[in-house]
Structure 1
């Protein structure tokens, strides 16, 4: 079955299921046209009509085949023109033409062979005319596919200028520059024209293997940040309405029973691959999980994003919530509640990032942060009741010099309430990590011991391998892990969570030697005399 030049359509039967031709061709992608989805996740991606959709999967999971199928879907979703033909024009984008030819075009031409009539090598344009047979009825389609390479930051504006498209496909999107989205999105929805039925649906889709957690695609696809200007966002919302949004579809890991596209892979494909990979590469390319930053080791390997992260933003229970904070130059806070079963529910986080980069935290003093926290709670949680005690980083209770107020005093002066130091002697990291780890591993009945709202973006990013132990070399040249997690952008909100969980659980705290206890008691006495940490501070703003 072939697709010919415009005007001489080939007949393709949508009911036909074509797999691979032989064992020597097992590379995970179909060599001929098939509309059979490679698995349930791929099917949901195919049928998702939101403006932005993406599929992330391990090696060999059939992502390229699935994106070919989406090209056909995107054309079927158009209105027929006066001649009864449904049309679409799209662009496939990759970093280099060599990558396009090897990883996309070779398989595409296996589906729809290029001829002198349908291929324009100068423009890298493939023009197809197809009669797609669905339920015995031929559906005439015309598809134009433009293949484009963008390997420099300044090229997208010139490359996309003046191009009218229906759809765009960002192949291996994690390897592309983020600014491509902003230049490509305005070109979508401009074809076909009114005389040819108008553009009924338009959108952008992407595919990738799981990248490292600090790749821009995490913020875009997992956190739902479009990555374009507010002006463009408003225009897109006005055009697409309810369709405007992001659909992210991660496939199951290759070693799980739910793995997709196994019928098109040799037996033992993923086992052999896993045996030759580093732990981080296996995590990304076999297990289909975001990799750890800077080749670090995740602090919480017990985290299961599908289990510990709520599908929808959490609503507050009818009881007071706890505010837990981490102080310093880049402070952060979390709002927690414990339900009747003992599950800790993380309602929200307060993390102030720079306007240009959400991976860079804004430096704030205690007073400015207190105002930001109060503003956030008043705007996002106007009916929320807070408990009087704010649980805090023990280190914030001491000023740098005798004549300086401590961070805690400055915070309380603005926020009011009672600040309590988290119950961890010496602010040691191990009891703090243990408290959170216990919640991750010990369920409450059928529920996770801790449930995090998806609005907690930095917290979730940290759990998903952004909060790591980094490596260091000893004097003998041996690489070892550091004793404490890396102080990256996710660490501060995780510190706040640890303090809050410790207060709720009051567990995992080892006893200290008597001299340490004595010094701690002396410090707490001095703090109590200041009138804020021991509970003497009062004030408004508490519900």
Structure 2
């Protein structure tokens, strides 16, 4: 992280008197407005280390911005020009989150037009400006450096730090050793501009690390630090936005409105609701189901409901020795339904050719009931994209032989479409959003009772475990290799085909010129890039 002083020492005070007056007014308002007594205590905490834990929408980011101003007021005046100067490194785990969340919230407080702004989206940035203290009139110089640790080790990232303060935004997402490395590197900026104390020795500049975060899992490094008697004084814990009964908390001063939290209650599963909204430490998720919001009485569909014969079907395929396939379709009400499954037995293994034949034989049989779809070439096989593009030789070979087995039975080419991603967070997220979203009184993701293995996976067989990443982060991921993951992955590929990824993804609908109806409005077909094998 290069923060060379010659780049940062440009003279950029706010010269316009009207703008300066507006600046004073905005700063006074910021100092007066606090999201409750906990946030106010945190921003006035000048300890070397302090943390703010709170629910979503509780003004944590803007509280941290205000804290930076208050810290600057405590810095010694420079012997060079008499200004109080503070350099703050605002650090996030990755640049996507930095630019999508942290920087927009920061700019709600300090406009980009003040002083100098350097850097563009996806890259490091800096914001340097001077403003008067509204109470003393002294000039404060604030230098904000926006950085993301990415895949670097914390030790490597922290080298070259020349900052007084590090603000760890969403601190629970950092590797456990990051805080220690950051603390060793702060307190170095403006060191040569500090005055001497009464004893004639030069005073040190401010040295501080603070952070904000949502309530983490009990296994997170910050959760462990919270319960350590040596460090518990560092933590400022805001009240939850919702009470245990789901009603808005009367103590949530300065938070978002009731409608926001009621909406969160409807969107989040119980685990995330307790952490993100009620501000309670999460229990260990090891062994917990991936889809805690799957409820058989709500998401299961009777065996008598069959796929429509006039619309294409998609077959999500998870390859390998324990291959599984899920056959689904999107219906008139924009619901994605898993109608049937083909699963390798627990005590058996398979190969691509045999599995391709088995899927084709099932779909052409009376029990399957997809003969018309097959005859009209209205079947799309959705696969892990790494198999399509050579991510693994084993995966590519499996799909080639799978296609051969399909052709052997049907006499038709196998139309293969790579899923949009194989990222587990995106796959699980796409499925979860449909499970939570209601349409015509039913969830937008449903599973037929003809899929016993998929239903067993979603009822709890498909579990979470904590996985250590190359970056040093520990993230929750579905367990692999327990029989349930193959059929769940197959279903997720099928679902991705119909939904895309992300809340603003385009809605895939018509296939091969056949339109799908959503409600009463026909949706235009999209071109599907299918490879015929």
TM-score, normalised to structure 2, is 0.46
